[in-house]
C-alpha cells in the first residue's frame, strides 16, 4: 500500500518536472523569481504595491505590442516596424486631438488612430503576403520611412495641449487600477482566446509550423499573414493610445527602439524566429524580465559608475537568458 | 460485380502545363467507390500533378472533374474535402510543432459561434475515435514533430480519413514505412474499401500495386497510356508500359566475389553504443562486399550510419577503419579517409537544390580544384562532364540547377559526388526511396559496380527485395540491437521480417 | 494562375485594407505643410546685393527649441534681405551626420556655417576644413572647439547653464542650508553637451552647496517615456530625493510628469532646460517652479545677424561690441558674442512667452 | 538568345544599374554641380566605413545569417583604441588592440551561432546591446580625442586622388571577390546558404566557415571603427549606432537574398552606390534630413519588389 503511494508520488513529481521542462517559460519564471528575491532582500521597497504597479504600467504597452509581434513570429514572419508605427500613430493622434491643430473630438481621433494602425499593419501584410517581399525587408523599410514621416507630420513642433479625455487614457484609473492595465488585460484575454479558442489562432501556428502543409490543408496562408500584421498594427495603435497620454507632451521621438525591445521580449520569451512555436506565458515572462531589469538596476543603488554599465548588464541578461534557454532545450533531447 | 449506381469520380480531359512543359495531356479516368485503383508511372509522368489537381491544390488548364455526376469547382482544397475527396501526400504533411488534434483539424476546425469558439473537447474525442479505428495509440498532446516518421505518416492518413472521405488518394504511402507498418496500412486500406471508399493508390512498389489494386492505370509523359484490370497484367508488361521500353530488372544473382570475407575488413564497429538509439553494435564490412542493413524505421539503422560518417557522436565503443582506430572524427575526416554517404533525405541532406549540377557534383572535393590562381574551371567542367555521362544524369547542361532534375537524376548526383573520389566505403541510406523504376535499376547497377571495383558498401533499405537481391550479407537491427546476421543464402523476406520485429518474448523476463 | 482562397474572410480583408489604406493616405498627406522655417530658400527683396548663404545647423532637427531658434533666424534673414537661410540638421541628433552636413555645405560653397555642435570633437575636423576653404564658421547654442570656428554666439556658457540650474534648484528647495538628495536625468549617456554640464554641475555643487547630495545620473535616451520611468524608479529607490534636474528638453517634461503623477508636487522639485510651451502646464500646476532657458528666437536672430556681418566684413576679430538690430548692442568678449543672461521662467512670467 | 537576354535583364545588377543611371540623369537635370568629381570624391568619405562592413555582411547574408552587432563592435573597438591611447600606449598598439577586440567580438558571435546553434538574429541582437554596453561602461560614456596627427591622417589623407579608406575598401573588395569567385570557399558559402545540412554532409566545414565569416565581420567593423576615429578624431561609445540597418539595406538593395544563397558582391557595391548617392543628393538638394529616411525606406521596399517581379517574370517565361 505504502509502496504504491510512493511510486505514484514520484511519478507525479516526474510528470511535473517534465511538464515544467516542456514549458520554456519556466526557466525565465524562476529567474525572475530569483531576481525579485535578491532585489527585495537588498531593497524591500521593490516589492511595494506602488512599485509593482508602476512596473506593470511601464510594461503595459510593450506587453500589448508583444502579443501582436509574437503572432507575427509564430506565423513565420517578423515585424520590426512597430517603433516607427508608434511614432506615426502618436504624431497623428496628437495632431488630431490638439486644441491648436485639428481639434477632432477624442472618440473620433481614437477611432481614426486605430484605423491608421490597422492600415499600416495591412500595408506591411499586403507586401509580405501578396507581393511576397520578405517581412524583415518590408518592415525594415517601414521602420526607416515611417520615422521620416513622423518628423514631417510633427514638423519640428511638439504637441503640448492634449485634451483631458485623451490624457485620461494614459493616467486615468477605473476601480483604482490604471486604464492601461485594464486594456492590457483585455488584450491578453483576447489573445488567449484567439490562440486557444479560434480557428484563426490554430491556423497561425499551423502556417508558421509548416507553410507547405498549411497550403495543402487548404489554409489561406496569405490572409493569415495579412491578419497577423494587421493585428500587430491594431495593437500598436492600442498601445500608443494608452501609453502616449501618460505624458503631457507628444514629441517626434516616440517609439524609437521599441521594435528592438519588443522583439527581444518575444524572443527571450522562447518564441522561435523560425515560426510555429511561441507561448503567451513565455512572452509575458520575457516582457516582465525586460521591463524589470532597468528598475532593478536602480533599486540596487550600485552608484554612479554602474550607471554606465547598465546597458552592458542588460545585454548580458538577454544573452544569458537566450543561451540558458538553448542549453536547456538542447539537453532536454 | 460492380454496382453501376455506385458513385464515381469522373476525370475528363484534364490538361495542365507549367511554363511550356505539359505535365498532363487530356487525361481521363474514372474511379469508383469501393475500388482500389492504382496509378503507376515514372517520376515526372504527371502523377503528382494529377494528385494536386484532385486535391484542389492546383487548377487545371483544361478539363473537368465530376463527382457522382455533378461538376466540381477545381482549385479549392475545401471544395474537394467537402465532397470527401482527400489526398495523403508522399512526404507526411504535418505541422511538426502542433499536436495530433491540431494537425487533424488544421483548416477545418470544429467551432461554434461563427468561428469564435473552438470545440476542443469534441475535437479531442473524435481524434481519439479515429486513432482507435486505425488501431494507433498515440499521445494527443505531443508535438507531431517529435514522433517517428511512420507515426507522422499515420497522422497524415488519419487526417485524410476522418472527414467522411469517399475518395482517398494515397501518394506513395509506404515510401517511408517498413514492411510491418505497410501491412497495417494495407489492412486499413482494405477495410476502407469495404466501407465503400474509392482509393487512388499511387506507388512505385509494384508488388504492392498487384497485391492491392483491382485496376491499374499507367501514366507516361503526361498521357494516360492504359487502364487495365490488374488480373490481366503482368509485372513485366506494366513496367514496359511505364517506361515505354523493356527494362531488365537487375539483381545480383550471384555474389561477384565469393570469397569477399577473406578480403581485409574496411570497416569494423566494436560495441558501438549510444543511448537510446543503439547499443553494442558489432559489424565488419570487407572490401568488395555489400552489407545489407535491414530493420524497421526507427530501429537505429540511420543513427549507426550517421555515427560512422561522423555526423553524430557516440557514447562508447570504437570504429576501426582499415584496421585503424578512428578518433574524434568529423564528417570531413571521414570523407578524407574514404567514406562516402548517401543520406536518407535527398533534398534536405543531399543536395543544395538551387545550385548547379556541377557544383553539387563537386561540392565535397572543391578544394582539390584550387590552384594558385584560383579554381580550375576547365578541369571542373571536364570531371563533371565525365560524371554526368558515366552516371547517365539527364540534364541539359551542368549549369542547370539541381532542382530542375527528376528524383532519380538527383539521386544520381548524390552518388556521383562521391564516386570520382573512389571511396573505400559507401554508406547508402535508402538510396532508391521515391526513385522511379527506370532510375532504380540504374542505381542498383551502380551499387553492384561499386562493389565490383572493390568498395565496401553498407546498404540500408526498408525495401526487402532490394536488400535481398543486392546484399552479400544481411544484418538485421531491431530496437537498436543486432538481432541477426544472415548470409545471403539463408535470407528471405520472412526471416528478415521476423528478426526485425521487436519480440517481447526475447527480452529477459 | 493560382488563385488564393476567396473566402468570406478574404473579402472582409480586402474591404478593410482598402478602407484603412485610404485613411492612411489621407492622414499621411493631411499634416500641415512645412512652415517657412524649414524651407530652404527665402527670396530676397533686393536683388542688387550679393546673396549670402547661411546654414544654420541645430543639434537635432524636430525639437521645438531649435524650431523656435529657426523662427528667429528667419526673421533676421527677412530683415536683412540679402541672406539665404538654410536650416537643416540631423533628425536623430547624430554628431556624425552633423559633420557630414558640414562637409556637404563646404563643398557647396556657402558663405557661413553656423552650427550647434552635438559633439565638438566630431565636427571639429569638418569645421577646420570649411574654414580652410574660406567659409566663415560660427558656433551657436553650444560651442565648438575654439580653433575650428570664428565666433561663438553665446547665449550662455556651459558653466552658466550648469550654475543656473543648480542655483535655481537650491532656491526652489529653500536655500543653501536645505539638506537634499538630487538626481539628474540626462539625454544619452554619451551626449557631449549634457556631459559638460554635468561636470560643471558636480563641481558647482561640491564647491557651493555641501548639503546637496547628487545620488544618481540616469540616461533617458531622448525618450520621454524612459525619463518618466527612470524618475519614478528613482523616487522609490531613493525616498529622500528632493529634486530632479531634467537637463534635456525631452527628459524634463518626462521627469515632471512622473513627479506630478506620484502626487509629490511641491515635495519634489524639478528643474531643467526646456521651452516654456512644453512645461507650461507643470509650471502653472506647481510641479515645476522654474524653467531655465533663454530667448531662443533672439538666439537664432543674433546668429544670423552675426553671420551676415562676418560675411560682409562688418564684424572682425577684435571688435568688442556688435550692433544686433532690434536686439541693440551686444557685447563681444574675445571671440564670443554674448546674447545676455539666461531666463528663468516661473509662474509669474511664463505667460509672456510663446515658443 | 532571347533567354539569355531575358536572364541578363532580370539580374538585380542590371536593374540596379538602370536605377543608378536614372538617378544620375535626374541629378544632372536638377543639380549638375553635385556631379563634379571634386564633390563626389569628397562626399565619398561618408560611405567607406559602411562599405567595408558591407563586404562581410554580404557573405553572412549569403549563408542565410545576419549580423546586427556590427555597430556595437565598432563602438567597442573604437573605445578600446581610445582608452589605450589615453592610458598612454602607442597608437599602433592601440589600433592592434582595437582590431583584436573587434575580431574577438565577431568570433564570439560566430561561436554562439555555429556551435550553440542559436539563430544569428537572436544572438547578434543580444550582443548588440552587450558590446555597446561594455563600451559605455569602460569609457564611462566619455569621448576620447586628440589623437596624434599620424593617425588622424589615415582618415583624412588621400592617396592617388582617393581617400585612404577607399583604397582599403578596394583591396578588401578585390581579395574577397577573388576568394568568392576563384576559391572553393566561395562556392562553399553559397552552398551553406542554400542548404547547410547538405553542405555539412558533403564535408564542408560549415561551423568553421560560419565562425570565420562572423569573425571577419568583427574585424571589418573594427577596421571601420578605426577609420571613423581617424576621420573624426574622436572615439566614443555611440559610434556606429544604427549602422547595421544601413549596411543591411545596402546589401539587400544590392540583390542579396535575405534567405541566403543568392546575390553577389557586385550587387552589394551597386547597392552601396545607390544608397550613398541617394542619401547625399537628397540632403544636398532638399536640405531636409527627414526626406532621406522616407526615400531610403521606400527605395528598399520598391527595389526589392521590383527585383522580385523581374525574377518572377523570368521564371514564368
Q: What percent of chain D has pLDDT over 90?
A: 62
Q: Chain A contact for C228, CB < 8 A?
A: yes
The alpha carbon of residue B73 is apart from the nearest alpha carbon of chain A, in Å, by 14
> Which residues of chain A lie closer than 8 angstroms to B55, CB-CB?
216
Angle in degrees, CA B247, B252, B257, rounded to 5:
145
Residues C210-246 have pLDDT tens digits of 888 999 899 988 888 899 999 999 998 888 899 999 9
Q: Which superfamily is assigned to B260-506 in CATH?
A: P-loop containing nucleotide triphosphate hydrolases (3.40.50.300)
What's the pTM value of the predicted model, to 2 decimals? 0.86
Residues D284-299 have pLDDT tens digits of 988 888 899 999 999 9
Q: Quote the cell numbers at residue B408.
A: 532519380
Q: What is the separation of C-alpha B118 from the centre of its chain, rounded to a whole number of angstroms?
A: 36
Torsion angles phi and psi, residue A251, rounded to 5: -115, 180
Residues A250-276 have pLDDT tens digits of 988 899 889 999 999 999 888 888 888
Interchain CB distance below 8 Å, D233 and C104 = no
pLDDT at A244 over 80: yes
**Least confident interval from A287-291, B169-173, B258-262, C160-164:** B258-262
Diameter of chain A measured on Cα atoms: 81
Give the residue on A whose Cα is nearest the Cα of B89: A216
Assigned fold of C158-293: Rossmann fold (3.40.50)
What domains can be seen in chain A, in order of their start residue? 27-332 (1.10.3470)
Nearest to C236 among A50, A101, A227 (CB): A50
Model pLDDT, residue C7 = 39
The alpha carbon of residue D101 is apart from the nearest alpha carbon of chain B, in Å, by 30
Give the residue on A whose Cα is nearest the Cα of B99: A206
Please answer whether residues D226 and D92 qualify as being in contact, where contact means their C-beta atoms are separated by less than 8 angstroms. no
In terms of DSSP bridges, do strands B111-112 and B117-118 run parallel, antiparallel, or are they unpaired? antiparallel
> Which residues of chain D lie closer than 8 angstroms to C97, CB-CB?
289
The DSSP H or E segment spanning A152 is helix A135-154
Model pLDDT, residue D314 = 67
Torsion angles phi and psi, residue D229, rounded to 5: -60, -40
The DSSP H or E segment spanning A206 is helix A199-209
Chains with at least 3 CB pairs less than 8 angstroms from chain D: A, B, C
Interchain CB distance below 8 Å, D201 and B355 = no
Give the Å distances, CA to CA, from C196 to A215, C102, C299. 61, 23, 21
Nearest to A134 among D117, D259, D298 (CB): D259
Q: Quote the cell numbers at residue C137.
A: 564658421
> Which residues of chain C lie closer than 8 angstroms to D136, CB-CB?
189-190
User: Which residue in D129, D271, D299, D316 has the most chain A C-beta atoms within 10 A of its own C-beta, making it the best mutation to test that interface?
Assistant: D129
The DSSP H or E segment spanning C83 is strand C83-87
Q: What span, in angstroms and rounded, lies between the C-alpha atoms of B384 and B257?
A: 31
Q: Chain A contact for C181, CB < 8 A?
A: no
Beta strands in B329-433 (DSSP E): 339-342, 425-429
Model pLDDT, residue A2 = 41
Model pLDDT, residue C43 = 39
- Spell out the domain ranges in chain C: 52-155+295-339, 158-293
Interchain CB distance below 8 Å, D199 and B352 = yes
Q: How high is the mean pLDDT of chain D?
A: 91
Same fold? C52-155+295-339, C158-293: yes
Chains with at least 3 CB pairs less than 8 angstroms from chain B: A, C, D
- Spell out the domain ranges in chain D: 12-24+40-316
Q: How many CB atoms lie within 10 A of CB B275?
A: 10
Q: What span, in angstroms and rounded, lies between the C-alpha atoms of D243 and D272?
A: 13
Nearest to A131 among D291, D293, D308 (CB): D308
Interchain CB distance below 8 Å, D237 and C107 = no
Torsion angles phi and psi, residue B113, rounded to 5: 65, 50
Model pLDDT, residue B164 = 72
Interchain CB distance below 8 Å, C3 and B59 = yes
Chains with at least 3 CB pairs less than 8 angstroms from chain A: B, C, D
Same fold? B8-243, B260-506: yes
The alpha carbon of residue C237 is apart from the nearest alpha carbon of chain B, in Å, by 44
Nearest to B366 among D178, D187, D315 (CB): D187
> Which residues of chain C lie closer than 8 angstroms to D293, CB-CB?
91
User: Which residue in A158, A159, A219 has the most chain C C-beta atoms within 10 A of its own C-beta, making it the best mutation to test that interface?
Assistant: A158
* Residues contacting D102, CB < 8 A, separation 6+: D73, D74, D76, D77, D218, D219, D220, D221, D222, D223, D225
The alpha carbon of residue C133 is apart from the nearest alpha carbon of chain A, in Å, by 32
Helices (H), B252-372: 301-308, 331-337, 357-362
Interchain CB distance below 8 Å, D116 and A314 = no
| A231-240, B35-44, C262-271: which is most confident | A231-240
Q: What span, in angstroms and rounded, lies between the C-alpha atoms of C142 and C135?
A: 19
Residue range A60-88: mean pLDDT, rounded:
95
User: Which residue in D201, D311, D312 has the most chain B C-beta atoms within 10 A of its own C-beta, making it the best mutation to test that interface?
Assistant: D201
Asked: is B8-243 a CATH 3.40.50.300 domain? The reply is: yes
Q: What span, in angstroms and rounded, lies between the C-alpha atoms of C120 and C130?
A: 15
Q: What span, in angstroms and rounded, lies between the C-alpha atoms of D287 and B215?
A: 77
Interchain CB distance below 8 Å, A119 and C233 = no
Model pLDDT, residue B112 = 80
> How many residue pairs from chains A and B have C-beta atoms closer than 8 A?
77
CATH class of D12-24+40-316: mainly alpha
* Residues contacting D18, CB < 8 A, separation 6+: none
Beta bridge partners of C57: C115
Exposure of B58 by Cβ count < 10 A (0-12 exposed, 13-18 middle, 19+ buried)? buried
Q: Quote the cell numbers at residue C95.
A: 554628431
Q: What span, in angstroms and rounded, lies between the C-alpha atoms of B268 and B254?
A: 25
Interchain CB distance below 8 Å, A216 and B109 = no
Q: How many CB atoms lie within 10 A of CB B486?
A: 19
Q: How high is the mean pLDDT of chain A?
A: 87
Q: What span, in angstroms and rounded, lies between the C-alpha atoms of C93 and A103?
A: 31
Residue range D232-243: mean pLDDT, rounded:
90
Locus of grid cell 569567385: D181
Beta strands in B230-353 (DSSP E): 265-274, 278-286, 290-295, 316-321, 324-325, 339-342
Q: What span, in angstroms and rounded, lies between the C-alpha atoms of B159 and B155?
A: 6
Q: What span, in angstroms and rounded, lies between the C-alpha atoms of A201 and A204?
A: 5
> Which residues of chain B lie closer than 8 angstroms to C3, CB-CB?
59, 75
Model pLDDT, residue A305 = 75
Mark the ranges of chain B whose per-residue pLDDT is less than 70: 1-6, 19-21, 43-44, 91-92, 149, 162-163, 176, 245-261, 297, 501-509
Torsion angles phi and psi, residue B337, rounded to 5: -75, -15
Length of chain C: 355
Q: Chain A contact for D115, CB < 8 A?
A: no
Q: What is the ipTM of this complex?
A: 0.83
Interchain CB distance below 8 Å, A151 and C31 = no
Interchain CB distance below 8 Å, D118 and A308 = no
Residues C320-340 have pLDDT tens digits of 888 888 888 888 888 888 888
> How many residue pairs from chains A and D have C-beta atoms closer than 8 A?
131
Could you tell me which residue, C12 or D289, shows the higher pLDDT? D289
- Show which residues on chain D lie within 8 Å of chain C, measured between beta carbons: 33, 38-39, 42-43, 45-46, 136, 141-143, 145, 152, 156, 228, 231-234, 236-239, 241-242, 280, 283-284, 286-290, 293
- Show which residues on chain A lie within 8 Å of chain D, measured between beta carbons: 78, 127, 131-134, 136-138, 140-149, 151-152, 260, 263-264, 267, 273-274, 305, 308-316, 318-319, 322-323, 326-327, 330
What b/e string do you get for D110-131 counting C-beta neighbours within 10 Å, with b at 16 or more? bbbbbeeebbbbbbbbbbbbbb
Residue range D212-239: mean pLDDT, rounded:
94
pLDDT at D33 over 70: yes
Q: Could you check whether the bond before residue B276 is cis, i.e. omega within 30 degrees of 0? A: yes
- Spell out the domain ranges in chain B: 8-243, 260-506
> Which residues of chain D lie closer than 8 angstroms to C89, CB-CB?
289
pLDDT at C34 over 50: no
Interchain CB distance below 8 Å, D182 and B373 = yes
Q: Chain A contact for D298, CB < 8 A?
A: yes
Nearest to A218 among B77, B94, B115 (CB): B77
Q: What span, in angstroms and rounded, lies between the C-alpha atoms of D308 and D315?
A: 11
**What CATH number does the domain located at C52-155+295-339 have?**
3.40.50.2300
Q: Quote the cell numbers at residue A169.
A: 487614457
Model pLDDT, residue B122 = 86
Q: What span, in angstroms and rounded, lies between the C-alpha atoms of D202 and B360?
A: 9
Beta bridge partners of B292: B459, B474
Amino acid at each position: 500500500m505504502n509502496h504504491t503511494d510512493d511510486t505514484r508520488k514520484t511519478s507525479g513529481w516526474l510528470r511535473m518536472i517534465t511538464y515544467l521542462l516542456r514549458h520554456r517559460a519556466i526557466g525565465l519564471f524562476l529567474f525572475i523569481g530569483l531576481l525579485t528575491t535578491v532585489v527585495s532582500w537588498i531593497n524591500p521597497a521593490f516589492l511595494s504595491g506602488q512599485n509593482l504597479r508602476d512596473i506593470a504600467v511601464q510594461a503595459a504597452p510593450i506587453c500589448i505590442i508583444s502579443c501582436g509581434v509574437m503572432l507575427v513570429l509564430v506565423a513565420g514572419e517578423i515585424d520590426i516596424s512597430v517603433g516607427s508605427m508608434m511614432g506615426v500613430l502618436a504624431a497623428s493622434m496628437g495632431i488630431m486631438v490638439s486644441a491648436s491643430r485639428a481639434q477632432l473630438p477624442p472618440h473620433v481621433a481614437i477611432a481614426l488612430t486605430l484605423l491608421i494602425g490597422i492600415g499600416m499593419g495591412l500595408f506591411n501584410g499586403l507586401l509580405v503576403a501578396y507581393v511576397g517581399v520578405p517581412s524583415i525587408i518590408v518592415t525594415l523599410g517601414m521602420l526607416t520611412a515611417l520615422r521620416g514621416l513622423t518628423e514631417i507630420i510633427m514638423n519640428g513642433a511638439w504637441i503640448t495641449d492634449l485634451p483631458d479625455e485623451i490624457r485620461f487614457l494614459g493616467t486615468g484609473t477605473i476601480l483604482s487600477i490604471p486604464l492601461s492595465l485594464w486594456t492590457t488585460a483585455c488584450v491578453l484575454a483576447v489573445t488567449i482566446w484567439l490562440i486557444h479558442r479560434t480557428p484563426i489562432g490554430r491556423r497561425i501556428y499551423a502556417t508558421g509550423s509548416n507553410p507547405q502543409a498549411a497550403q495543402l490543408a487548404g489554409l489561406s496562408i496569405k490572409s493569415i499573414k495579412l491578419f497577423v500584421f494587421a493585428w500587430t498594427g491594431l495593437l500598436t495603435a492600442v498601445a500608443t493610445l494608452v501609453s502616449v497620454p501618460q505624458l503631457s507632451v507628444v514629441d517626434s521621438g516616440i517609439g524609437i527602439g521599441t521594435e528592438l525591445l519588443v522583439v527581444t521580449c518575444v524572443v527571450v520569451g522562447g518564441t522561435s524566429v523560425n515560426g510555429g512555436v511561441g507561448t503567451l506565458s513565455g512572452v509575458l515572462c520575457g516582457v516582465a524580465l525586460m521591463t524589470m531589469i532597468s528598475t532593478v538596476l536602480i533599486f540596487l543603488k550600485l552608484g554612479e559608475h554602474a550607471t554606465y554599465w547598465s546597458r552592458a548588464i542588460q545585454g548580458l541578461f538577454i544573452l544569458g537568458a537566450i543561451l540558458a534557454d538553448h542549453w536547456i532545450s538542447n539537453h532536454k533531447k | 460485380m460492380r454496382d453501376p449506381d455506385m458513385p464515381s469520380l469522373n476525370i475528363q480531359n484534364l490538361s495542365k502545363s507549367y511554363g511550356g512543359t505539359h505535365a498532363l495531356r487530356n487525361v481521363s479516368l474514372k474511379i469508383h467507390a469501393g475500388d482500389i485503383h492504382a496509378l503507376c508511372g515514372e517520376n515526372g509522368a504527371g502523377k503528382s500533378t494529377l494528385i494536386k489537381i484532385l486535391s484542389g491544390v492546383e487548377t487545371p488548364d483544361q478539363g473537368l472533374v465530376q463527382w457522382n455526376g455533378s461538376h466540381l469547382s477545381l482549385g479549392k482544397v475545401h471544395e474537394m474535402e467537402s465532397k470527401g475527396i482527400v489526398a495523403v501526400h508522399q512526404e507526411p504533411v504535418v505541422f511538426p510543432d502542433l499536436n495530433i488534434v491540431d494537425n487533424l483539424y488544421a483548416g477545418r476546425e470544429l467551432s461554434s459561434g461563427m468561428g469564435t469558439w473552438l470545440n476542443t473537447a469534441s475535437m479531442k474525442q473524435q481524434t481519439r475515435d479515429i486513432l482507435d479505428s486505425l488501431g494507433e495509440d498515440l499521445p494527443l498532446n505531443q508535438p507531431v514533430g517529435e514522433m517517428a516518421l511512420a507515426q507522422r505518416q499515420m497522422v497524415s492518413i488519419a487526417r485524410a480519413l476522418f472527414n467522411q472521405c469517399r475518395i482517398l488518394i494515397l501518394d506513395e504511402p509506404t515510401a517511408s514505412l517498413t514492411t510491418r507498418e505497410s501491412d497495417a496500412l494495407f489492412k486499413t486500406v482494405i477495410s476502407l474499401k469495404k466501407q465503400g471508399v474509392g482509393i487512388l493508390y499511387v506507388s512505385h512498389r509494384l508488388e504492392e500495386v498487384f497485391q492491392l489494386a483491382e485496376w491499374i492505370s499507367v501514366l507516361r509523359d503526361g498521357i494516360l497510356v492504359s487502364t487495365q484490370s490488374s488480373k490481366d497484367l503482368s509485372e513485366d508488361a506494366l513496367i514496359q508500359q511505364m517506361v515505354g521500353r523493356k527494362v531488365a530488372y537487375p539483381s545480383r544473382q550471384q555474389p561477384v566475389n565469393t570469397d569477399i570475407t577473406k578480403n581485409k575488413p574496411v570497416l569494423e564497429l566494436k560495441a558501438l553504443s549510444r543511448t537510446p538509439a543503439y547499443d553494442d553494435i558489432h559489424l565488419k564490412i570487407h572490401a568488395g562486399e555489400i552489407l545489407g542493413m535491414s530493420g524497421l524505421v526507427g530501429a537505429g539503422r540511420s543513427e549507426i550510419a550517421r555515427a560512422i560518417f561522423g555526423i553524430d557522436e557516440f557514447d562508447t565503443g570504437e570504429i576501426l577503419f582499415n584496421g585503424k582506430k578512428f578518433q574524434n572524427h568529423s564528417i570531413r575526416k571521414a570523407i578524407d579517409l574514404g567514406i562516402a554517404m548517401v543520406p536518407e533525405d535527398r533534398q534536405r541532406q543531399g543536395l543544395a537544390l538551387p545550385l548547379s549540377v556541377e557544383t553539387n557534383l563537386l561540392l565535397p572535393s572543391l578544394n582539390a580544384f584550387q590552384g594558385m590562381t584560383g579554381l580550375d574551371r576547365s578541369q571542373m567542367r571536364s570531371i563533371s562532364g565525365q560524371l554526368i555521362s558515366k552516371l547517365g544524369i539527364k540534364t541539359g547542361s551542368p549549369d542547370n540547377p539541381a532542382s530542375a532534375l527528376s528524383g532519380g537524376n538527383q539521386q544520381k548526383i548524390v552518388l556521383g559526388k562521391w564516386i570520382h573520389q573512389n571511396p573505400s566505403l559507401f554508406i547508402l541510406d535508402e538510396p532508391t526511396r521515391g526513385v522511379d523504376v527506370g532510375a532504380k535499376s540504374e542505381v542498383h547497377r551502380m551499387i553492384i559496380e561499386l562493389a565490383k571495383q572493390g568498395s565496401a558498401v553498407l546498404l540500408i533499405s526498408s525495401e526487402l527485395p532490394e536488400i535481398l537481391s543486392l546484399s552479400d550479407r544481411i544484418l538485421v537491427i531491431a530496437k537498436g540491437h543486432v538481432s541477426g546476421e544472415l548470409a545471403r543464402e539463408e535470407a528471405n523476406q520472412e526471416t528478415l521480417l521476423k528478426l526485425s520485429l521487436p519480440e517481447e518474448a526475447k527480452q529477459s523476463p | 494562375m493560382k488563385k488564393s482562397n476567396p473566402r468570406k474572410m478574404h473579402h472582409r480583408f480586402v474591404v478593410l485594407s482598402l478602407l484603412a489604406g485610404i485613411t492612411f493616405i489621407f492622414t499621411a498627406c493631411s499634416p500641415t505643410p512645412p512652415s517657412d522655417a524649414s524651407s530652404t530658400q527665402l527670396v530676397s527683396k533686393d536683388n542688387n546685393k550679393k546673396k549670402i548663404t547661411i546654414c544654420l545647423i541645430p543639434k537635432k532637427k524636430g525639437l521645438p527649441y531649435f524650431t523656435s531658434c529657426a523662427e528667429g533666424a528667419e526673421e533676421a534673414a527677412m530683415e536683412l534681405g540679402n541672406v539665404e537661410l538654410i536650416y537643416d540638421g540631423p533628425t536623430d541628433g547624430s554628431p556624425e551626420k552633423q559633420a557630414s552636413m558640414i562637409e556637404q555645405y563646404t563643398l557647396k560653397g556657402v558663405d557661413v556655417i553656423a552650427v550647434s555642435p552635438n559633439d565638438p570633437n566630431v565636427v571639429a575636423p569638418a569645421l577646420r576644413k570649411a574654414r580652410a576653404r574660406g567659409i566663415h564658421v560660427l558656433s551657436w547654442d553650444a560651442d565648438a572647439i575654439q580653433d575650428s570656428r570664428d565666433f561663438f554666439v553665446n547665449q550662455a556658457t556651459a558653466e552658466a547653464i550648469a550654475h543656473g540650474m543648480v542655483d535655481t534648484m537650491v532656491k526652489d528647495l529653500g536655500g543653501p542650508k536645505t539638506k537634499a538628495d538630487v538626481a539628474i536625468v540626462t539625454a544619452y549617456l554619451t551626449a557631449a553637451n549634457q556631459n559638460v554640464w554635468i561636470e560643471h554641475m558636480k563641481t558647482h555643487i561640491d564647491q557651493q552647496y555641501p548639503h546637496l547630495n547628487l545620488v544618481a545620473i540616469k540616461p533617458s535616451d531622448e525618450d520621454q517615456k524612459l525619463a518618466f520611468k527612470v524618475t519614478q524608479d528613482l523616487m522609490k529607490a531613493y525616498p529622500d530625493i528632493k529634486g530632479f534636474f531634467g537637463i534635456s528638453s525631452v527628459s524634463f517634461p518626462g521627469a515632471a510628469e512622473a513627479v506630478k503623477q506620484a502626487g509629490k508636487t511641491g515635495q519634489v522639485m524639478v528643474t531643467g532646460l526646456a521651452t516654456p510651451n512644453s512645461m507650461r502646464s507643470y509650471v502653472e500646476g506647481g510641479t515645476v517652479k522654474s524653467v531655465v532657458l533663454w530667448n531662443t528666437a533672439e538666439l537664432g536672430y543674433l546668429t544670423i545677424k552675426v553671420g551676415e556681418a562676418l560675411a560682409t566684413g562688418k564684424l572682425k576679430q577684435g571688435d568688442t561690441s556688435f550692433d544686433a538690430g532690434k536686439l541693440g548692442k551686444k557685447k563681444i568678449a574675445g571671440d564670443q558674442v554674448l546674447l545676455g543672461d539666461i531666463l528663468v521662467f516661473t509662474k509669474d512670467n511664463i505667460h509672456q512667452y510663446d515658443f | 538568345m532571347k533567354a539569355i537576354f531575358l536572364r541578363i535583364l532580370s539580374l538585380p545588377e542590371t536593374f540596379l544599374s538602370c536605377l543608378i543611371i536614372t538617378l544620375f540623369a535626374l541629378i544632372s537635370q536638377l543639380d549638375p554641380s553635385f556631379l563634379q568629381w571634386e564633390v563626389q570624391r569628397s562626399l565619398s568619405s561618408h560611405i567607406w566605413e559602411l562599405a567595408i562592413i558591407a563586404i562581410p555582411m554580404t557573405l553572412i547574408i549569403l549563408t542565410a545569417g545576419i549580423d546586427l552587432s556590427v555597430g556595437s563592435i565598432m563602438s567597442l573597438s573604437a573605445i578600446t583604441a581610445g582608452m589605450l591611447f589615453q592610458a598612454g600606449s602607442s597608437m599602433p598598439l592601440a589600433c592592434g588592440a582595437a582590431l583584436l577586440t573587434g575580431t574577438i567580438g565577431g568570433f564570439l558571435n560566430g561561436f554562439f551561432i555555429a556551435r550553440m546553434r542559436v539563430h544569428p538574429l537572436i544572438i547578434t541582437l543580444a550582443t548588440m546591446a552587450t558590446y555597446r554596453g561594455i563600451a559605455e561602461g569602460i569609457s564611462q560614456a566619455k569621448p576620447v580625442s586628440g589623437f596624434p596627427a599620424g593617425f588622424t591622417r589615415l582618415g583624412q589623407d588621400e592617396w592617388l586622388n582617393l581617400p585612404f579608406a577607399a583604397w582599403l575598401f578596394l583591396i578588401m573588395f578585390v581579395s574577397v571577390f577573388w576568394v568568392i569567385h576563384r576559391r572553393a570557399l566561395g562556392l562553399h558559402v553559397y552552398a551553406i546558404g542554400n542548404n547547410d545540412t547538405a553542405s555539412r554532409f558533403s564535408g564542408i566545414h560549415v561551423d568553421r566557415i560560419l565562425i570565420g565569416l562572423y569573425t571577419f565581420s568583427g574585424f571589418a567593423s573594427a577596421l571601420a571603427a578605426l577609420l571613423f576615429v581617424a576621420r573624426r578624431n574622436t572615439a566614443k561609445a555611440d559610434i556606429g549606432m544604427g549602422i547595421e540597418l544601413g549596411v543591411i539595406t545596402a546589401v539587400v538593395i544590392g540583390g542579396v537574398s535575405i534567405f541566403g544563397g543568392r546575390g553577389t558582391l557586385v550587387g552589394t557595391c551597386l547597392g552601396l552606390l545607390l544608397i550613398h548617392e541617394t542619401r547625399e543628393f537628397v540632403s544636398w538638394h532638399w536640405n531636409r534630413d527627414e526626406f532621406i529616411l522616407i526615400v531610403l525606406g521606400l527605395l528598399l521596399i520598391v527595389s526589392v519588389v521590383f527585383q522580385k517581379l523581374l525574377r518572377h517574370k523570368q521564371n514564368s517565361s
